Amino acid sequence: MHSWKIIARGRVQGVGFRHYAQTCARRCGITGYVRNLYDGSVLIEATGDQESLNRFCELLRNANRFIDVRELEIIEQDKTVMYNDFQIL
């Protein structure tokens, strides 16, 4: 298991991105959370296996026409953080 901190930048607030991220996370078996940041970006804390995390990020990059993810900054965490599910904060 791996834990990633992901910062999504682009048109990601006010367009349903957090709900989309939750749907994708559940589809991929990812646990963690998603929340808006004050600078207009979105923070995702995600835990899962490497393949699932890669698929999750691929889905985030290819969202619907209202969402425009221009950048996903991925920071692999030193410690794996375990969550029960994936929540919107």
Taking the C-alpha atoms of residue 59 and residue 8, their distance in angstroms, rounded to an integer, is 12
Task: Give kind and range of the element (H or E) at residue 26.
Answer: helix 17-28
**pTM, 2 dp:** 0.93
Active site residue 84: no
57 in helix, strand or coil? helix
Active site residue 62: no
Could you give the domains of the chain?
A: 2-81 (3.30.70.100)
- Single out the catalytic residue among 9, 11, 36, 61: 36
pLDDT average, residue stretch 42-48 = 97
pLDDT digits (tens, 9 = 90+) for 51-87: 999 999 999 999 888 999 999 999 999 888 899 999 9
Q: What is the pLDDT of residue 65?
A: 87
pLDDT digits (tens, 9 = 90+) for 2-29: 999 999 999 999 999 999 999 999 999 9
